[in-house]
């Protein structure tokens, strides 16, 4: 039986949002930029003054996203989502095999056959020796996809080291980095050594429905969406001006926060984990053996399955997740935890708590109190 943590005020009925890895709340600066973009009538491809005004907003946002990633603006291709950016990265560079880690997001896994999914260790980290063997055994160069940070556990992958191995073997490396900006500092694409990098606006406080693929110098892509010549011919269709403007504003906000925000989140996460385990000593935090995002906790209750725990937390006014939000409507055993070697019952107990720019110390203390009140019961 867990006990209520002796910290903070009693649980309240107002909502507590601790699901930033699914979607971060919209930042005020992003909302303001979107409101301003709503007044712009021109098509960004039009040459008249209204079109030029719309184009200027898009290019301003492109410069902001490029600054966040530390790349030239010409490398930024705006897409409709992070999932679309992943699809473009894995389908666009032409033929050849595809490899990825077994803990990638579903939008990557569905482009890679089972035989191309590489094992991770018990901490969720891809083994470089196994990667070297897989690259050597593959029939011809292709694309390797390795996420920077896992969306469920927060565990970081050795992307720079993998990129060197891939380059030596003649492969391209794609990195799904949607969870990294604003949480890892500095976030620098150059240090990753990746040829293709995926970003998503709504993970860092921008709007949903807009992402970006960073396309390195010399990488040729065949577009998924064909038609006009938008995004330098790499993604046809009239640009989402309002969403892109919000993305740019969110990127600027993250840059302004800098390293202080990453350090603040790490302190909150450590406080949270200590309180949760203190209130419920049988709880297990997954991924602690590797480097992790400073905002993410994947924790298993000793006696409650994730679906039951999510329901009780929701009734108490706390929003968290079990696994990826892109698998909404079901609480299945996490493929990430299964790949880390957990059996199905253990994988079914884990939930994800993810912090962000709105999270305060009071939120952490309240979560600890609510967690301690969960107790045990059926469903385990």
CA 249 from chain centre, in angstroms, equals 18
Residue 264 and residue 199 share a domain: no
Residue 268 and residue 244 share a domain: no
Confidence (pLDDT) at 289: 87
Q: Is residue 72 part of a domain?
A: yes
Which residues are known catalytic residues? 326
Confidence (pLDDT) at 3: 67
Confidence (pLDDT) at 4: 55
Residue 180 and residue 195 share a domain: yes
Q: Is residue 8 part of a domain?
A: no
Q: How many CB atoms lie within 10 A of CB 329?
A: 4
Domain finish residue from 203, 223, 254: 254
Confidence (pLDDT) at 375: 73
Which residues constitute the domain of residue 304? 16-25+258-372
Residue 318 and residue 357 share a domain: yes
Q: How many CB atoms lie within 10 A of CB 238?
A: 12
Confidence (pLDDT) at 124: 97
**CATH number for the domain that contains residue 345:** 3.90.1150.10
Confidence (pLDDT) at 31: 98
Confidence (pLDDT) at 9: 43
Take residue 186 and report the two structure tokens written for it: 């500095």
Q: Which residues have a Cβ under 8 Å from the Cβ of 267 and sit 6 or more positions away?
A: none
Q: Whole-model pTM?
A: 0.94
Confidence (pLDDT) at 152: 97
Residue 142 and residue 51 share a domain: yes
Residue 299 and residue 243 share a domain: no
Could you tell me the CA-to-CA distances from 222 to 82, 199, 209 in Å, in that order?
Answer: 17, 19, 22
Q: Give Dmax over CA atoms of the chain in angstroms.
A: 69
Confidence (pLDDT) at 330: 56
Nearest-10 crossing angle of helices 241-279, 49-69 = 30
Take residue 361 and report the two structure tokens written for it: 């110390």
Strands 98-101, 117-118: pairing kind: parallel
**Sites in the chain below the pLDDT cut of 70:** 1, 3-13, 323-331, 376-380
Q: Which residues have a Cβ under 8 Å from the Cβ of 124 and sit 6 or more positions away?
A: 103, 150, 153, 155, 286, 287, 290, 336, 339, 340
Residue 52, Ramachandran bin (φ over 0: left; ψ between -120 and 50: alpha; else beta): alpha
Residue 278 and residue 237 share a domain: no
Q: Is residue 378 part of a domain?
A: no
Confidence (pLDDT) at 46: 96
Q: Which residues have a Cβ under 8 Å from the Cβ of 247 and sit 6 or more positions away?
A: 30, 61, 64, 65, 78, 201, 206, 207, 210, 212
Residue 228 and residue 328 share a domain: no
């Amino acid at each position: 039986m867990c006990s209520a943590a002796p910290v903070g005020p009693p649980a309240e009925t107002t909502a507590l949002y601790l699901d930033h890895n699914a979607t971060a709340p919209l930042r005020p600066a992003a909302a303001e930029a979107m409101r301003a973009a709503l007044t712009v009538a021109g098509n960004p491809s039009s040459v008249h003054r209204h079109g030029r005004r719309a184009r200027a907003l898009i290019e301003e946002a492109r410069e902001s996203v490029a600054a966040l990633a530390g790349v030239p603006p010409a490398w930024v291709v705006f897409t409709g989502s992070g999932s679309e950016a992943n699809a473009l990265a894995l389908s666009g560079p032409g033929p050849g095999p595809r490899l990825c880690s077994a803990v990638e997001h579903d939008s990557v896994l569905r482009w890679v056959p089972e035989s191309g999914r590489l094992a991770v260790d018990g901490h969720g980290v891809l083994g470089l020796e196994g990667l070297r063997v897989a690259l050597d055994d593959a029939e011809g160069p292709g694309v390797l996809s390795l996420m920077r940070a896992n969306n469920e556990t927060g565990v970081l992958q050795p992307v720079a080291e993998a990129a060197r191995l891939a380059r030596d073997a003649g492969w391209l490396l794609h990195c799904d980095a949607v969870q990294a900006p604003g949480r890892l500092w500095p976030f620098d694409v150059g240090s990753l050594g990746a040829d293709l990098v995926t970003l998503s606006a709504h993970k860092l406080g921008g709007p949903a429905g807009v992402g970006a693929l960073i396309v390195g110098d010399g990488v040729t892509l065949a577009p998924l969406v064909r038609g006009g010549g938008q995004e330098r011919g790499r993604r046809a269709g009239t640009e989402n001006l309002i969403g892109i403007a919000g993305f740019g504003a969110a990127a600027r906000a993250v840059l302004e926060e800098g390293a202080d925000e990453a350090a603040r989140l790490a302190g909150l996460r450590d406080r949270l984990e200590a309180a949760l385990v203190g209130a419920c000593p049988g709880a297990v935090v997954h991924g602690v053996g590797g480097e992790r995002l400073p905002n993410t906790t994947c924790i298993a209750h000793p006696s409650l399955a994730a679906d039951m725990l999510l329901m009780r937390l929701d009734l108490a006014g706390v929003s968290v997740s079990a696994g990826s939000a892109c698998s909404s409507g079901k609480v299945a055993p996490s493929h990430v935890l299964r790949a880390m070697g957990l059996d199905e019952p253990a994988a079914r107990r884990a939930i994800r708590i993810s912090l962000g720019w709105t999270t305060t110390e009071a939120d952490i203390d309240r979560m600890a109190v609510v967690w301690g009140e969960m107790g045990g019961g059926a469903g385990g």
